Amino acid sequence: MYPGQSVFTQLIQQVSRYEFNKGVARYRGHVRLRSFSCWDQFLCMVFAQLTGRHGLRDIEVCLNSQRAKLYHMGFRGRVSRTTLADANATRDFRIYQDFGCHLIDVTRKLYGGEPLAVDLANTVYALDSTTVDLCLSLFPWAHFRKTKAAIKIHTLLDLRGSIPAFIALTDGKVHDVRLLDVVPVEADAIVTMDRAYLDFARLYALHRIPAYFVLRAKRNLCCRRVDSRPVDKSTGLRADQTIVLTGKRSRRAYPEPLRRVSFVDLERRKRLVFLTNAFEIPAQTVAELYKQRWQVELFFKWIKQHLRIKTFYGTSANAVKTQIWIAISAYLLVALAKKRLHLPASLHTILHIVEVNLFEQTPLFQILGDALLRTPPPHHSNQLNLFEF
């Protein structure tokens, strides 16, 4: 990167404009446009995510205060609050959904060599969802409860680099387990889940891919022990058993044996019982895999704290989905820059430094290096010392 480019431009250059234009053409996003293109809309919304703008007026004022730099940052249309509001409400959110999926594919390839906390060669995923509460009077389409609206962000997180492999947006009434019908899982992958995904028919479909799952059992599980293996109780393990289901419906839904691993968290003094179809890995690894499921909770916490997905710039379903997908794209932009530019900082640190240096025309690597410098450089002054003899 040469010094003439702004930090914002250095981030945007990580993406393919060609792939973005393919989505615009696919969903006819260019039809009846005068000056404010889909790319201008994308840039405005990414700027809002990276800098934490509070509303459309805030976006308009901040960008127009740097009007002389906007052309070199890629903006071609005039930034206006009403134009941006109309774009968010009317332009198909699938343009940004498809582009976000493209960024997911690119980012996952870069982070494919990242180490796992467990010693496994398999691809390991964590599947979960987070609920974003909404006002029922403003978002009546987001069905959840009688007096409350909400939208769910269902995420399949690749634990190598904490990069989402699949994201789906639904209203709050959609149960988590239904996502097992559409989530893309390749053969030999391992998916860790919580008890909300315990549906034996869907788990058996996952087993026949063949893929593996690790999830907590419910207390009312009806099963019969077939075999037991010895465990080291000093590690917290209490049992490692092969079981078959004895419930009439569960036995019909999952006719093959399962593995039941009982584990006691010695720090919290809590007993956990896991179900899995992975018989070849050690029982201790099963417990560690479930512990890694917490990474998806940290991912949700990160994006809610550092991106604008809890308050929205529009109230229509299209505007909300557009904002969430562009927020995910902003997260992936920072992840791409970190990997491609070999930036020596966490995503959290990079995002905070980018926020206050977005218009600076300095290489991003240099800005991060200066920010992370623990000892200030020596000061050399040509001015004479008045008290020097």
pLDDT tens-digit map of 352-385 = 888 887 887 778 777 777 776 654 555 555 555 5
Is there a domain that residue 258 lies in?
yes
Q: What is the pLDDT of residue 386?
A: 46
**Given this model, what pLDDT does residue 204 score?**
93
- Percent above pLDDT 90 for the chain: 25
The Cα–Cα gap between 25 and 47 comes to: 23
The whole-number pLDDT of residue 235 equals 85
My answer on whether 39 and 75 are in the same domain is yes
Tell me: do 91 and 13 sit in the same domain.
yes
Mean pLDDT of the chain: 85
In a domain, 193, yes or no: no
285 and 321 both lie in a single domain? no
Give CA–CA dist 148/146, Å, rounded. Answer: 6
165 in a structural domain: no
- 126 occurs within a structural domain: no
What pLDDT score was predicted for residue 379? 52
Q: Sorting pLDDT into bands at 50, 70 and 90, what band is 71?
A: confident
What pTM was computed for the model? Answer: 0.86
Query: Residue 293 burial by CB count (10 A; 0-12/13-18/19+): exposed, middle or buried?
Result: buried
Of 260, 292, 324, the one marking the end of a domain is 292
Residues 12 and 91 in one domain: yes
Total of domains in the chain: 2
Q: Is the pLDDT of residue 68 over 50?
A: yes
pLDDT on residue 2:
45
Give the residue-averaged pLDDT of 308-319: 88
282 and 343 inside one domain: no
The predicted pLDDT at position 274 comes to: 92
pLDDT of 388 over the 60 cut: no
Q: Is 367 inside any structural domain?
A: yes
Q: Which domain holds residue 227?
A: 212-292
Q: Which 8-state DSSP code applies to residue 187? A: T
User: Is 172 part of any domain?
Assistant: no
Rounded to an integer, the average pLDDT of 160-185 is 89
Give the pLDDT confidence score for residue 201 in this predicted structure. Answer: 93
Inside any domain, residue 385: no
Q: Is the pLDDT of residue 163 over 50?
A: yes
